[in-house]
C-alpha cells in the first residue's frame, strides 16, 4: 500500500500538481522519497487519488495524479465526540485515536473540572495543532474526510447543540442499549475530564436528554475513555 498524503487542492488525472509546504516537507525532507515513487493523495472532499511522485525540489514536490477512487472509509453512523481539555500530549492521543476509530466530529470542551484553560493566541495555536493531528491520523488510517475539530466551547453549549442519540459516559451507570445505538442515525458522545463530571453537570446532561452509560465498573482515564467508548459503539453497530 502506497503512502498517503493530504493536500487541500483539487486534483485532476494527468495534470501535475505542486503540493503545499507540509506535504512537500514530509515527502522530500522526512521520508526522502524519490521521483517515480507511488503515493496516494486526498484533499478532504471525499475519495482519493493514486499518483506518482514526479519531482522533488528544495521546498516543493510535484506529483502526477492518475486514478480517482471514490472511497471514504467513514464509520457506519456519524458520532460527534465531546471531550474536555486534557493536559499535554494526552489530548493529542485522544484526538488521534478518536479519528482512527471513526469520530465524525470532535468538540473540545471546558467543564468545571477541566485541568487546562486556553484563551486567545494559545487557543488558536492549539486548535491548529489539533487539526494537524487529525490530518496525520487520516493519512495513517485511510480516512478521506477529516473530522472537524472546533475551538474550545463550554460544556453546556455542547449539550444544547447535541442531536440524535445523546450519551454521557459516567462510572456506575448501566451498560449501553444496543438497540438504541443500532437505531440511531446520529450520536453525540460525551466523555468526562480528569476527576469526572460534577453533580450539577450530570443533572444538566440528563435535563438535556443525555443517557448515562458505563463500560463495567472501572474508571477510565480521560484520554482512554473516548477510545474505548467509540470502539464499543462500533461493535454494537456491526
For 56, 59, 61, 205, 210, the CA distances from 25, given in Å and listed in that order, are 10, 7, 8, 45, 44
Grid cell of 106 as nine digits: 470532535
- For residues 144, 226, 78, 148, the Cα torsion angle rounded to the nearest 10 degrees is -50
C-alpha cell at 87: 493536559
Residue 87 gets which letter from DSSP? S
Structural domains in the chain, CATH included, are 3-69 (2.40.240.20), 79-237 (3.40.1280.10)
On the CB side of 196, CA atoms within 13 Å amount to 12
What are the tens digits of pLDDT across the range 38-82? 999 999 999 999 999 999 998 899 999 999 999 989 887 899 999
Listed in sequence order, the residues at least 6 apart from 100 whose beta carbon sits closer than 8 Å to its beta carbon are 137, 140, 141, 143
- Distance, in Å, from the CA atom of 238 to the CA atom of 234, rounded to the nearest integer, reads 6
Q: Is the pLDDT of residue 203 over 90?
A: yes
* Range with lowest mean pLDDT among 162-171, 210-219, 228-237: 210-219
Q: For 16-32, write each residue's pLDDT tens digit.
A: 999 999 999 999 999 99
The three three-digit cell numbers of residue 109, written as one number: 470542551
User: Which residue in 121, 12, 138, 117 sits closest to 64, CA to CA?
Assistant: 12
In this prediction, residue 120 carries a pLDDT of 75
- Work out the angle at residue 150's Cα, subtended by the Cα atoms of residues 144 and 152, and round it to the nearest 5 degrees: 150
How far apart, in whole angstroms, are the C-alpha atoms of residue 226 and residue 147? Answer: 15
Per-residue b/e over 35-71, b at no fewer than 16 CB within 10 Å? eebebbbbbeeeebbbbbbeebeeebbbbbbeeeeee
DSSP 29: I
Question: Grid coordinates representing 218?
Answer: 472501572
Q: Is 89 helix (H, G, I), strand (E, B) or coil?
A: helix
Q: Provide, rounded to the nearest whole percent, the portion of the chain with pLDDT above 70.
A: 99
State pTM to two decimals: 0.91
Could you give the CA distance from residue 236 to residue 38 in angstroms, rounded to a whole number?
A: 37
Asked if residue 238 has pLDDT above 90, the reply is no
List the beta bridge partners of residue 49: 41, 68
Amino acid at each position: 500500500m502506497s503512502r498517503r498524503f493530504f493536500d487541500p487542492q483539487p486534483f485532476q488525472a494527468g495534470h501535475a500538481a505542486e503540493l503545499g509546504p507540509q506535504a512537500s516537507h514530509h515527502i522530500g525532507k522526512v521520508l526522502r522519497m524519490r521521483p517515480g515513487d507511488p503515493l496516494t493523495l486526498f484533499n478532504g472532499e471525499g475519495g482519493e487519488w493514486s499518483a506518482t511522485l514526479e519531482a522533488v525540489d528544495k521546498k516543493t514536490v510535484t506529483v502526477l495524479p492518475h486514478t480517482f477512487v471514490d472511497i471514504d472509509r467513514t464509520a457506519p453512523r456519524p458520532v460527534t465526540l465531546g471531550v474536555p481539555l486534557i493536559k499535554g500530549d494526552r489530548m493529542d492521543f485522544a484526538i488521534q485515536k478518536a479519528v482512527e476509530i471513526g469520530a465524525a466530529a470532535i468538540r473540545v470542551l471546558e467543564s468545571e473540572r477541566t485541568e487546562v484553560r486556553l484563551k486567545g493566541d494559545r487557543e488558536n495555536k492549539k486548535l491548529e495543532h489539533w487539526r494537524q493531528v487529525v490530518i496525520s491520523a487520516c493519512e495513517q488510517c485511510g480516512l478521506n474526510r477529516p473530522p472537524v475539530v472546533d475551538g474550545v466551547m463550554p460544556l453546556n453549549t455542547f449539550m444544547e447543540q447535541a442531536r440524535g442519540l445523546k450519551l454521557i459516559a459516567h462510572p456506575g451507570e448501566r451498560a449501553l442499549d444496543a438497540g438504541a445505538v443500532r437505531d440511531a442515525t446520529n450520536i453525540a458522545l460525551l466523555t468526562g475530564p480528569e476527576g469526572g463530571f460534577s453533580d450539577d453537570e450530570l443533572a444538566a446532561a440528563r435535563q438535556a436528554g443525555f443517557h448515562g452509560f458505563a463500560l463495567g465498573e472501572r474508571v477510565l482515564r480521560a484520554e482512554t475513555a473516548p477510545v474505548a467508548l467509540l470502539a464499543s459503539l462500533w461493535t454494537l453497530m456491526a
